[in-house]
Amino acid sequence: MDEFKVRTVDLQQVQNQTRHKTDGLSSSTLVLRRGQAFTVTINYDGRPFDPLKEKLIFRIVLGPIAVEVPVSRFGQPSLTQWTAVLERSVPNPTGPRALSVTLSSPATASIGVYTLQLRVEARLSVKTHLLGQFTLLCNPWCEADSVFLQSEDLRTEYVKSDIGLLFKGSPGNIVSRPWSFDQYEKGILDICMKLLQVSPQYQADMGKDLLNRSNPVYIGRVISAMVNSNDDKGVLMGNWSGDYSGGVNPSQWSGSADILRMWAATQFSPVKYGQCWVFAAVMCTVMRALGIPTRVVTNFNSAHDTDGNMTIEEYYNEKGEKLSMSRDSIWNFHVWVESWMKRPDLGRGYDGWQVLDPTPQEMSAGMFRCGPAAVTAIYERRVDAQYDVPFVYAEVNADVRTMIVRNGRVLSTSVDKRRVGALISTKRPGSMSMQDITSEYKTEEDENTYRGSMAGVTGRSTTFRCEPQSDRIMVTGRSITFSCEPQSDRIMASKGVEVSLQLLKAPVVGENISFNIIITNNDAAPKLLRKHVNAQNKEYNRNPTETFWEAHDDIKIGPKETVTIKHEISFKHYMLKETEEDSLVNLAVVIEDVKSQERVLASEEFIIRSPSLDIQIQNEVSVIINTPQVATVIFTNPFNVAVSGELTVSGSGLLEEKAQMRLTIQPRETIKKRVNFTPRMAGARMLSANLVLENPPTIMHGFKTINVQAS
């Protein structure tokens, strides 16, 4: 009889990927998860396989690292080492002869793209067969994996789901934006693996990098640096200037695939441009693709404490105009990710969610990256726990010291312990709504936030006590030193006058901004007051720019009287100059008691949100895979002028190509645009629409989630 001769080897792609929950991920290779068995079939000619006459040895290669795994007839798959076990082969006298072998990887294997070889050693010959490549990912379904997550619902949301909802705006006026993570889009997984290969760590020492890739803490740190392009061939270039020529306005991106594909197609040149939510959303895509449970988190009123003193200094002049005198800033919102993993490097109690932030803000060990910082360590103020806990702790807990100044003198000062980290939120699993996770970061004592006043859109009032006029600010280069300290670290309540701001409704682009100023005289004597109201444009991540509207007048107020003064700012005053999806405003009022010189200030930052698009599905209850469907995008022009722009509709698993069309819409006209699509993936999918108008320069969004049924 002929000798045993291997003809072909079948890597059983469909069956293995279904079992490993990687079906749907698009790759040029077989895609597997570590710590789990997979089966290959060896088709052969000649006599049956005889373990006494020939040896079968699998060789598993990752860069310079290779493991030899002999096929054994008896044994169990192992979670600690590579194994290959021969399943019983059923002789088939007529059909092709086949052996089935179960291979399994350790739960601590490095993630990466492996090459699989099979060597057949007989008495007189040795033959090696190249079987192909497989991509090995982390396995949150495997208890021995350091990214294991107990709940199937949470694994579905934080690993398998490609639908995102990002939160922006301000705590009293939150907007949600759809984002498509796109990890199932063609070629995206391969690009995510390429990202690890382009990293400075891999380029410097391939062997060391590949060994370290068993650890999600290490992987998170590498990805955090690689999503920004500040010190490597990273994916995105940040731009907060308002001038996005030569690139894409960050507000126009709606998914990760376009960004990752553009990066790969240009030999890893940075894609222009990103801001915090874009950096975070792309990182979430990469981490989910690699099998690490990840969610996008927004911190409202996020402190950027550049000098590490846990205090953010803010300055206003006596007219209520906010001044740019400090390098510290409070971002109206800042977006990062949390990834789920064990932290054996920190001792017990720090497993679970870890903050990772790819937005280039500060260096961490010589590179622009941040984390992983254990959320528990932030909660417990364990500022010695690596990585970057002090920086994240300050982002959610810093104090705000506000000063009214004139000619370099501090006229009055106050401290607000509650504004920073007012609300920390993420998308609720299985729903398109927001989940408040503030209590995971802050104790009750830290968190004593102004939730009550956030229920509406009521302004926050900060009251100042007049301090001796000799307090001077010395501005020396970039640092500012004070010769005055507040008497205590709490808001100093004014005895004489109180003031607050109240927005009458959530402002929308095209409409007037209406608000009340409420002034109370606590004294038993009448007062003459000076009122200064000031509105400034601002970017979400820095201090306001020029004043676009102001009002100044004198008020007489009776003893123990409260007066309410209504103001309106018309659309023509705040008309946008550059294309934005939501415009931010800093509104402040200073009330000065003419006689006592006491000053009180109230301020409120809010967004003017863009109108939204409505999407309707023809047969919403019966959307079936591979069956043509129709969606309609509906928009009413709220402006008094005709507007024109470009409408883009996209949906991963629904539309092969984006639908794009130019539109001109008359004043108050309602348009309805039909979009045909054929779902190619079952389960929860999302259709999203963007309308970018030229004049006024505005970006509008809409989304619809669709449950696609299997046929």
Compute the distance between CA of residue 88 and CA of residue 74 in angstroms, rounded to an integer. 10
One-letter amino acid for residue 314 of the chain: E
The contacts of residue 168 (CB under 8 Å, 6+ apart) are 174, 175, 176, 177, 277, 298, 333, 335, 540, 582, 607
For residue 641, report the phi and psi dihedrals to the nearest 5 degrees: -125, 160
Compute the distance between CA of residue 500 and CA of residue 427 in angstroms, rounded to an integer. 32
Catalytic, 209? Answer no
* The one catalytic residue among 190, 209, 305, 334: 334
The contacts of residue 232 (CB under 8 Å, 6+ apart) are 198, 199, 200, 225, 226, 367
Tell me which residue of 80, 66, 10 sits closest to 41, measured CA to CA: 10
Tell me which residue of 419, 437, 417, 418 sits closest to 427, measured CA to CA: 437
With beta carbons less than 8 A apart as the criterion, state whether 389 and 308 touch: no
Compute the distance between CA of residue 562 and CA of residue 564 in angstroms, rounded to an integer. 7
Helix (H) or strand (E) holding 100: strand 97-104
With beta carbons less than 8 A apart as the criterion, state whether 429 and 153 touch: yes
Tell me which residue of 182, 276, 287, 278 sits closest to 658, measured CA to CA: 182
With beta carbons less than 8 A apart as the criterion, state whether 438 and 449 touch: yes
Q: What residue has token string 């999302």?
A: 686
Whole-number Cα distances in Å, 400 to 97, 272, 300, 302, 304: 75, 33, 14, 11, 11
| Alpha helices in 425-501, H assignment, sequence order | 438-441, 444-447, 451-454
Torsion of CA 192, 196, 197, 201, to 10 degrees: 170
Supply 125's token pair: 């010959």
Compute the distance between CA of residue 467 and CA of residue 473 in angstroms, rounded to an integer. 13
With beta carbons less than 8 A apart as the criterion, state whether 678 and 705 touch: no
Compute the distance between CA of residue 336 and CA of residue 224 in angstroms, rounded to an integer. 10
Q: Can you say whether the dihedral through the CA atoms of 569, 570, 573, 576 is positive or negative?
A: positive
With beta carbons less than 8 A apart as the criterion, state whether 87 and 102 touch: yes
Q: What is the 3-state secondary structure (H, E, C) of 529-584?
A: EEEEEEEEEECCCCCCCCEEEEEEEEEEECCCCEEEEEEEECHHHHCCCCCECEEE
Q: Can you say whether the dihedral through the CA atoms of 92, 98, 99, 102 is positive or negative?
A: negative
Catalytic, 552? Answer no
Instruction: Give the number of other CB atoms < 10 A from CB of residue 478.
Output: 9
| Alpha helices in 64-181, H assignment, sequence order | 152-155
With beta carbons less than 8 A apart as the criterion, state whether 239 and 247 touch: yes
Catalytic, 384? Answer no
Compute the distance between CA of residue 272 and CA of residue 248 in angstroms, rounded to an integer. 6
* The one catalytic residue among 182, 305, 357, 388: 357
Instruction: Give the number of other CB atoms < 10 A from CB of residue 134.
Output: 23
Tell me which residue of 167, 255, 278 sits closest to 686, measured CA to CA: 255
Tell me which residue of 463, 465, 466, 491 sits closest to 589, measured CA to CA: 463
* The one catalytic residue among 276, 284, 370, 466: 276
How many helices (H) and strands (E) are present in the chain, helices listed first? 14, 43
Positions annotated as catalytic residues are 276, 334, 357
